[in-house]
A and B are shown apart, each in its own frame.
Chain A
Amino acid sequence: MTTVYDDLSDAESGDVPVNRIRFSINGKKKIAEVEPRLLLSHLIRRGLGLTGTHMGCDTTNCGACTVLVDGRAVKSCTMLAVQADGHEITTVEGLAGASELHPLQEGFRQEHGLQCGFCTPGMMMAASQLLADNPDPTEEDIRWALSGNLCRCTGYQNIVKSVLWAAEKLRSAG
């Protein structure tokens, strides 16, 4: 990965701290050289070109940038990229197989779980941790698990239905 450090003052130009990290993203091993202040969300979007992870508020409020770190859903705008060292990251691009959608993606299509789609990747990633922890969630469980993810189209009803749909599909697939 090529990184450009711009707008450097003379004093800084010889002395930008850079850390080398090893991590995996969607099952692929990577090595990157990052400045410590680079956010994980920027590493994912700009460094790796995986633009499925959206940046909404950039202030730890909206959850659009949710990814899994070692299976736990976190806000990637509130974690430093350098902290990914030694960890496994999963983004929305890692949900689907080569030829078919993940049941969560299918569920969002079947139940009309999105309108503008901006919050959708974060919703799916938060839901994927829920379904890994609890394959048979109630509607209340889903609302609780997604309470850190905001949808400004107010599509919550269908988002909850989408996750219920996915849970059932995953269970029936065994």
Chain B
Amino acid sequence: MYPSRFRYEAPRSLDEAIALLHDGGEDAKVLAGGQSLVPLMKLRFASPELIVDINGLPGLAYHRQDPDGTLRVGALCRHADLERSALLAASQPTMAAAAPLIADPLVRNRGTLVGSICHADPQGDWASVATALGAAIVAAGPGGRRTIPVAEFVTGPFQNTLAPDEIAVEAVFPAAQGTRAGGYLKLERRVGDFATVGVAVALETSGSVVTRAGIALTGVGGSTIAATAAEQALAGRELTPPVIEEAAAAAAAAARPKTDHRGSAEYKRHMVATFVTRLLSRAGPDAAAEPGTPGKAA
């Protein structure tokens, strides 16, 4: 299979890349990891006339933490970099749990977190993790930079709010006020498949009280779902079994699954509740008593 014919540019500076996109307009597309875009082009679901390959841009392959605890992930940071990151393992349990579950090792060597969020596949894992953590995308365009919360950035299946001449250069994950807990669980038919159901839980706790809760769902709706009612059920409370049950029920109610070859809508909704319960139980005071689970990723 071949993509349809296109022109290819590999700019060496961000300004040059933005200028190329500006001239290309709606017919231009940014290529980073290419693990979603290239397959779409081969299937002719996407037929851009101009590809602006940003892999040669300097200084975008990082992920680092600011002194205040804010985590920044550059547009060329690969999934594999995050999977092997000591920084994430030590400070970002939800991201550390998700990174090894993205696609397969070969895709993780090339694909990027920022690209995955931009692609906005309802079954993409990073958009849920970013939503649960309250992350934002930094977009660079001819007029400068702007920061867009991921919850507003993703507007629907495969849709985001980038202008045609903007490039998402960074994802920003805000610092935690309390102690971080949480994780990511994904049901997939085999390694590398898209999520049948995915659940991201990102908690901040103070003592035994949850001070902030982020819960987002993958693959059970037209786009990433922020389970706000479930988040509200946890805020300011301790992770007791009744509280966990309430949050799990609220998250399941927020899901909008469809029956397909990966499972029935009912099954998927049930799995949302199961995953929320599992993740919250691991984060709660009884975590050590739960057998057979890896516990908190940190």
Given A60-B35, A78-B34, A78-B35: A72 touches B104 (CB 8 Å cut-off): no
Q: Tell whether A17 is near chain B: CB-to-CB under 8 Å.
A: yes
A129 cross-chain contacts in B, Cβ below 8 A: 109
A-B contact pairs, 30 of them (CB 8 A): A16-B5, A17-B6, A17-B7, A36-B7, A37-B6, A37-B41, A39-B2, A39-B38, A59-B43, A60-B35, A66-B106, A72-B110, A73-B105, A73-B106, A73-B109, A74-B106, A74-B110, A75-B106, A78-B34, A78-B35, A80-B8, A82-B8, A82-B10, A83-B53, A83-B55, A126-B105, A126-B106, A148-B104, A148-B106, A148-B192
**Of B4, B31, B107, which is in contact with the most chain A CB atoms at under 10 Å from its CB?**
B107
Q: Tell whether B3 is near chain A: CB-to-CB under 8 Å.
A: yes
A149 cross-chain contacts in B, Cβ below 8 A: 106
As a 0/1 sequence over residues 11 to 29 of chain A, the CB contacts with chain B under 8 angstroms (1 = contact) are 0100011010000000000
As a 0/1 sequence over residues 23 to 53 of chain B, the CB contacts with chain A under 8 angstroms (1 = contact) are 0000000010011001101110000000101
B80 cross-chain contacts in A, Cβ below 8 A: 72
For B38, the closest partner residue in chain A by CB is A78
**Of A35, A60, A144, which is in contact with the most chain B CB atoms at under 10 Å from its CB?**
A60
A60 cross-chain contacts in B, Cβ below 8 A: 35, 38-39, 107
Q: Tell whether A85 is near chain B: CB-to-CB under 8 Å.
A: yes
Do B51 and A36 touch across chains, with their CB atoms under 8 A apart?
yes
* Residue from the list A12, A36, A82, A148 in contact with B103, Cβ < 8 A: A148
Q: How many residues of A contact B (CB 8 A)?
A: 34
For B103, the closest partner residue in chain A by CB is A148
Q: Tell whether B163 is near chain A: CB-to-CB under 8 Å.
A: no
Given A74-B106, A148-B105, A148-B191: A80 touches B1 (CB 8 Å cut-off): no
Further pairs besides A39-B38, A82-B10: 6, Cβ < 8 Å: A35-B5, A37-B6, A73-B109, A78-B34, A80-B31, A126-B105
Within the complex, the shortest CB–CB distance from A70 to chain B, in Å, comes to 10
* Residues of chain A in range 63-105 having any CB-CB distance to chain B below 8 Å: 63, 66, 72-75, 77-80, 82-83, 85
Do B110 and A85 touch across chains, with their CB atoms under 8 A apart?
no
Within the complex, the shortest CB–CB distance from A170 to chain B, in Å, comes to 20
CA A70 – CA B5 in complex, angstroms? 27
Question: Inter-chain contact count A-B, CB under 8 Å?
Answer: 91
Q: Tell whether A138 is near chain B: CB-to-CB under 8 Å.
A: no
Do B109 and A72 touch across chains, with their CB atoms under 8 A apart?
yes
For A65, the closest partner residue in chain B by CB is B106
* Residue from the list B3, B38, B51, B192 in contact with A61, Cβ < 8 A: B192
Nearest first, the 6 closest Cβ-Cβ pairs linking A and B are A148-B104, A36-B8, A147-B191, A148-B106, A72-B109, A37-B3
* Residues of chain B in range 97-139 having any CB-CB distance to chain A below 8 Å: 100, 103-107, 109-110
CA A85 – CA B100 in complex, angstroms? 29
CA A73 – CA B80 in complex, angstroms? 11
Q: Tell whether A136 is near chain B: CB-to-CB under 8 Å.
A: no
* Residue from the list A59, A61, A80 in contact with B34, Cβ < 8 A: A80
Given A61-B192, A148-B104, A148-B192: A79 touches B8 (CB 8 Å cut-off): no
As a 0/1 sequence over residues 160 to 198 of chain B, the CB contacts with chain A under 8 angstroms (1 = contact) are 000000000000000000000000000000011000000
A72 cross-chain contacts in B, Cβ below 8 A: 80, 109-110
Q: Tell whether A168 is near chain B: CB-to-CB under 8 Å.
A: no
For A59, the closest partner residue in chain B by CB is B39
A37 cross-chain contacts in B, Cβ below 8 A: 2-6, 41
Within the complex, the shortest CB–CB distance from B50 to chain A, in Å, comes to 10
Q: Tell whether A145 is near chain B: CB-to-CB under 8 Å.
A: yes
CA A35 – CA B42 in complex, angstroms? 14
* Residues of chain A in range 95-136 having any CB-CB distance to chain B below 8 Å: 126, 129
CA A38 – CA B8 in complex, angstroms? 11
**Of B5, B51, B55, which is in contact with the most chain A CB atoms at under 10 Å from its CB?**
B5
For B105, the closest partner residue in chain A by CB is A148
CA A38 – CA B42 in complex, angstroms? 10
